[in-house]
Structure 1
């Protein structure tokens, strides 16, 4: 540090936005440590499969062009997505992952002091994106069975509310919203409030009663659907997601997007993934089978675990969460711990899932030992 810099630091530091002071930091899932223990990283909801060969080929073909800017309009992949969902290309817009598209929506719609309503706990980026836009987060508690309380969310809408975020299946609890529930909700929400159906995990949702965002986009003028290529398609490292929205909203999202924010590699990988839909489906089916197996094993152990429609499971560990995280770590399993609330474990390879199940039994034994004396049983 130069003499001037150190001299000035105490005297006239640049003042940062007040919103940053109250912002919770985004905590990425822990990485595997370099130790001898076998480690399964089940903390980031990543796809356990390597890229499909055809997708890898497509990326390798365009990698020599990394000295050039990508197509800022994402034209080819826009047309492919529009075709996939039977919507106009003007309704589709992209960002570097659906989290960035969610950020675009809040920045495009919210002024300082406007409200964004969402369930809590839900995706932990929501309060951060809301705070960065200068808007106010309105968190509506989940129901006792870990689901969105849509009647309470509708009741939380005020004249300051601009956006409602509905995460289905919900991260981190894995529960999904039914079509009937969402129709009832839409009937109660004013049409000048934007309802964002965040479907990052929709590919893993096999509940026939579940709401499908695209149906609601077709029926209501104030619905936006978010999808990502990070999860089912396994492109988390390339960062590409999109919104399907009314044209004027899509135009606004493009206006606030980071220029050239979606790389050429990501665009080509997404195109190749859409072309390999049947191979992707096979992997999704295998993953859902693994998820249901993990859920069944946990239930048999005695966990009160809600049925997940995503690629992870949620264990309510409450005040014992930190201790539970350490037990998983001792088994070589890295999980996502939400202090005071619970543990989210991604569905990984069969070996990783089996280790997770063994560790979960160990955690349950500890929890039972910790609670038995105090409840007198």
Structure 2
């Protein structure tokens, strides 16, 4: 009998958004436009050296991020997408069975996966009635076995952002002995003035680590580059458990170019925000419940009808992301693709 962990049979599967040839894909929170031209040029140049290993320390990109966030480079850890950093956080904080990782549910579907891979126990707290984190309940759920807490803001897949005052209250209640990861994968789309931003809180709360990514607003989902901002103790631990050479030379070059041209690239977020608000308003006018979204998607809490709505959309060549028994997440795209979604949604009998 092979020595494979038996608990892998119960590991929840990550379900990617479907890709159907000829259909409009609104299932994966991708940005429709390709990477910016300077990013593509940097990728092409780096590809010519693909016979060589990439920089193990990701030194140049780390230095660029340190300058952008006014942090020492020792307080930056780069990883193969922020989801991989989530797994590294579990590995760095949890010794095994008995240690707990706490997060809201429903939230990012990778959290229970990376927790179980790290042989830790999943602990969840339900969202509020308006699909937000219940941080007071989460603070009350922390035990002596809690090693790590994930807080996703804006929350994937429901959309609302955590507010600064409630997050500071949460950090104070949790105390310094539990690592809190603020997952800001969609931060560039946030317009709520009360929403939390993790960077200003780092010096006051050494147990806080902030996760960011190039996958969304920077239009580089296929290159897999994420990073963490935190104390030197935390980021050093992340680098220790990072698989060697996990960030390719092509990905590093693309991310550096993206930072160099960040102003022009991130200007496109305003278009997404306008479309997000337009789509949400139109869906509400048609009778759908749509929580306030601060990301590049909207959430339809359709419950048991989630699969039915997704199938209805697929019949019309519009692919959305159902979460069975909970709801449907719809990525905000171009005006034309969004109009197609609205036409299909209008024809769905609520």
Using structure 2 for the length normalisation, give the TM-score: 0.98
CA RMSD of superposed structures (Å): 0.9
Equivalent residues in 2 for 1:267-346, closer than 5 Å: 267-346=252-331
Q: 1:28 aligns with which of 16, 33, 41?
A: 16
Secondary structure at the residue paired with 1:65? coil
Q: Equivalent residue for 1:52? A: 36
Does residue 1:220 correspond to 2:214, yes or no?
no
Partners of 2:151 and 2:292 in 1: CA distance: 18
Q: Equivalent residue for 1:17? A: 5
Equivalent residues in 2 for 1:152-231, closer than 5 Å: 152-231=137-216
Contact persistence 2:218–2:266 (CA under 8 A): no
Partners of 1:15 and 1:60 in 2: CA distance: 43
In structure 1, the gaps of 5 or more residues are 1-12, 368-377
Using structure 1 for the length normalisation, give the TM-score: 0.91
Equivalent residues in 2 for 1:34-45, closer than 5 Å: 34=21, 38-45=22-29
Partners of 1:184 and 1:18 in 2: CA distance: 40
Partners of 2:29 and 2:266 in 1: CA distance: 17
Partners of 1:181 and 1:108 in 2: CA distance: 27
What is the count of residue pairs matched by the alignment? Answer: 349
In structure 2, the gaps of 5 or more residues are none
Secondary structure at the residue paired with 2:292? coil
Partners of 2:243 and 2:337 in 1: CA distance: 37
Question: 1:134-189 CA distances to partner (integer Å, 9 max, x unpaired)?
Answer: 00010100000000000000001000000010000000001110000001111110
Secondary structure at the residue paired with 2:221? coil
Partners of 1:135 and 1:19 in 2: CA distance: 11
Partners of 1:281 and 1:169 in 2: CA distance: 17
Question: Which of structure 1's runs of 4+ aligned residues deviate more than 3 A?
Answer: none
Secondary structure at the residue paired with 1:269? helix
Q: Please report how far the alpha carbon of residue 323 of structure 1 lies from its aligned counterpart in structure 2 after TM superposition.
A: 0.9
Q: Please report how far the alpha carbon of residue 18 of structure 1 lies from its aligned counterpart in structure 2 after TM superposition.
A: 3.0
Equivalent residues in 2 for 1:356-367, closer than 5 Å: 356-363=341-348, 365=349, 367=350
Contact persistence 1:19–1:132 (CA under 8 A): no
Q: Please report how far the alpha carbon of residue 332 of structure 1 lies from its aligned counterpart in structure 2 after TM superposition.
A: 1.0
Partners of 1:326 and 1:304 in 2: CA distance: 19
Larger Rg: 1 or 2?
1
